């Protein structure tokens, strides 16, 4: 039993910040309930990407980076010759996740509307055929 407690103690003591029950972390920053409150550039991504619309080469730009509790959030603008992608990345302690919130390609379009008061993102996805005619459109709600 003693041999089992030593690795657990080492793992727990190596954590850089610990989040307490009241949401306060050891680093002194309080975690917010809705991370969208911390990401104004992400919520206003349409105006933010206008600053980079003249770039016509493969480029990846970090629009925003915030920490909420133990999770880190990045918003990435991925530009290619005729395509644009905006990704919201959640980098957690245990696992990470990504969400495509904007996309323009010849065969796909993704647009998002942020409902900050509900901490949700409404994502509209449209697929196009080779002539540019819409084939299907779907809407999904994502709770953040």
As given in the structure block, the two tokens for residue 52 are 């980079």
Spell out the alpha helix ranges (H) of 14-136.
40-43, 45-49
pTM of the shown model: 0.74
Residue (of 140, 124, 115, 118) closest to 43 by Cα position? 115
For the chain, the average pLDDT equals 82
In this prediction, residue 18 carries a pLDDT of: 43
Residue 7 pLDDT greater than 50, yes or no: no
Band of residue 22 on the pLDDT scale cut at 50, 70, 90: very low
What is the three-class DSSP state of 109? strand
How far CA 99 is from CA of 15, 36, 64, 111, 129, in Å, comes to 27, 13, 14, 12, 24
How far CA 117 is from CA of 30, 99, 120, 121, 132, in Å, comes to 19, 19, 8, 11, 35
Domain ranges, ordered by start, for the chain: 1-31, 32-143
In this prediction, residue 11 carries a pLDDT of: 41
pLDDT digits (tens, 9 = 90+) for 94-144: 889 999 999 999 999 999 999 999 999 999 999 999 998 999 999 999 998
Q: Bridge-partner residues for 90, per DSSP?
A: 73, 97
Distance of alpha carbon 136 from alpha carbon 127, whole angstroms: 5
């Amino acid at each position: 039993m003693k041999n089992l407690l030593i690795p657990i103690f080492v793992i727990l003591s190596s954590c850089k910040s610990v989040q307490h029950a009241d949401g306060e972390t050891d680093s002194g920053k309080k975690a917010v309930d809705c991370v969208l409150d911390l990401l104004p550039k992400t919520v206003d991504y349409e105006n933010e990407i206008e600053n980079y619309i003249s770039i016509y080469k493969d480029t990846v730009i970090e629009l925003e980076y915030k920490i909420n509790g133990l999770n880190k959030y990045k918003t990435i603008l991925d530009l290619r010759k005729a395509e644009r992608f905006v990704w919201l990345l959640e980098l957690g302690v245990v696992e990470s996740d990504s969400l495509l919130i904007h996309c323009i390609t010849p065969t796909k379009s993704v647009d998002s509307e942020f409902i900050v008061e509900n901490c949700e993102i409404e994502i509209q996805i449209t697929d196009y055929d080779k002539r540019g005619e819409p084939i299907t459109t779907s809407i999904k709600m994502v709770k953040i």
